[in-house]
Each structure stands twice: as C-alpha cells, then as structure tokens.
Homo-oligomer: A and B are copies of this chain.
Amino acid sequence: MDIPYVIGVDMGGTNTAFGVVDRRGAILYRGSISTRDYTTGEEYIDALGNAINYSIQSNHLKGQIKGIGMGVPNGNMNDGTIEKAANIPWSKNVVTPLAAMLTAKTGLSCKLTNDANAAALGEMIYGAAKGMKDFIVITLGTGVGSGIVSNGQLIVGHDGFAGELGHVTMVRNNGRPCGCGRSGCLETYTSATGVARTAREFLDMNPEMNSLLKEIDYRPITSKDVYEAAQKGDELAIEVFNFTGKILGEAFCDFIAFTSPKAIILFGGLAHSGKFLLDPLKKAMDSHILSVYKGKTEIILSQLNDAEAAILGAGALAWE
C-alpha cells in the first residue's frame, strides 16, 4: 500500500521546524523545537523525537508516515551524521549519528543531508526543477550553498560533502577573507552578507557619490537596504547588484562547464532581488560562456515558498 506522508525536518541554528507533508507538497501539520536549548545531540534528538511522536499520535498518523528527511548544517548524507557544525554548540567538535538516533527514537527510517541539497530535492519534486534530471540549486542567503543534481540524482560525493560551490575561488589575489579561513570565495561576494559588504566598500571608495545608503549610519547596511535603494533608482545600489551579478554569472559559466545543467535555480533571500541581480548575471553569462553551452542553461527563481521549502525539501529525502 502506498504510504501517504513523510516528515520533513529543517534544522536551523536557532530553531528546528518540522512538518508532515503529502505527495503534492501540502503541509498537514507543523511543529518546532529549539535547536540550541540542549547540551548534547542525545538531548536534542530526545526532544525532537518526542515532538514528532506526539504529532503522529495526536493526528492519528501511525503507520501512515513513510519516513523522515532532515536538512541539517554539515549533514553527511552517506553516513546520516551531523559533523562539527560550527553554528550548533552541541555539534561543534563531534560527529553525531542523528539519523540513526532519530530512527531509534521514532521507529521511522531517517535520512539527512545539508539544507542546499534538501532544497534541490524540494525543487525536483515540488518546484521549478520538476521533471529535470540535470540542474543546480544555488542558495543565496547568509552564505552561498548549492545542491547539484545530475542524471536525476543528488551529487553527494565520496564523503557525503559534495556541492560547496559557495567556496569556489573567484578572486585569486587579494580576495575578500572568508569565514572558511581562506579568501576570494564566491560567497564573500554574492551572499546577502557579501552584497552588504560590497555596498560598504563602494561607499568608502566613492565618497563623492550620492546614495540613499549614506543615510544609514546608525546600523550596518544589509542586502535588503541595498535592494530597497536600488528600487528607488539609487545608482550606487544598482552598481552593487551589477558587481554581484557579474561575479555570480562568471561563476555559473564554470559550473555549467562542470555538469551542464538544464537550469540553475536561485533560492533564498537574495533571489528575490529580481532584475537587479538577474540582468547583470545573465549579461555576464552571455558574454563569458563557452560557446558549446551558449543559451542552453536557464536561470530560474525558486517557485517554492521560502518558509515551506526547507521542510518540503527535507521531506523529499524520505520519498526517495
């Protein structure tokens, strides 16, 4: 018999949200727990398992859940572990077999991967990549993440950690320092944080230029400020997006030379910048792409609702 539901778990640095999801991507029931309120992975899984078991019981879903899929920071899909996730205190220095622990607690099979891979599965099953076998999802948030699908399968690599495209090197000399300890990484330029950084740089470098962004001196500039200024026609803000789009477009040319995807799907906060990001991005791709790939790869904005995508994507793991 066809089992109608899965549970998708989106583990963030602060909160962990989960939902019971059906095959069409409707979320029947939602729950959440804190991620940070625990001192060990055991305590965390105990609380999460209790919350999941309660949701199954109270909704009379026993026997109707196919399995659990989790999107977790530094998730290793091959081993079902979370490995030294810097932003989660109880994970910082250890490898924790979260999937097996949650199975023991709930009696349900459990798979996990990182959030960008979960987003890619979500797009394939419910979103913009429906029916595609070769595509890449790029998440543009605080950092830049990626989920790569080729031949209809997620690429996780020999160690479960493939797809760190936010850390390809875009500037080899005097690149911006990156949180990873190196410099010049894509995410230092094209994440939401990178956009704010570019705005501050451009303001410093162009003291003579007028900009709405100069009025913000009581707090750090954010990528949202840059977007809002660009919408009002602010020249400096538009230049910030031109710079960002160009670097992202050139990076995409290298990505296409790798797996030749039918589409690259943009996901996350910065993807909502619309034409300000897309126009220079596509222009850079057009002028820089290897001729064999010219005009073949679509750039698409995610069609999934940001708030639901993480749960749907994680749940998608359990349909596989």
Contacts and interface: CB of A to CB of B under 8 A. Distances in A.
Interface of A, secondary structure class, is: loop
A254 interface: yes
A134 B157 contact: yes
B180 A291 contact: yes
A172 B250 contact: yes
A163 interface: yes
Interface stretch (A59-67, A146-154, A206-214): A146-154
Interface stretch (A40-48, A190-198, A258-266, A311-319): A258-266
Given A164-B290, A254-B168, A150 B155 contact: yes
A158 B182 contact: no
Contacts of A273: none
A170 B161 CA distance: 23
Interface residues of A, number: 44
Given A250-B169, A250-B172, A157 B290 contact: no
B259 A169 contact: no
A298 to B, nearest CB: 10
Given A253-B169, A254-B168, A290-B167, A259 B153 contact: no
Contact of A257 (B134, B159, B167): B167
A1 interface: no
A220 interface: no
A156 interface: yes
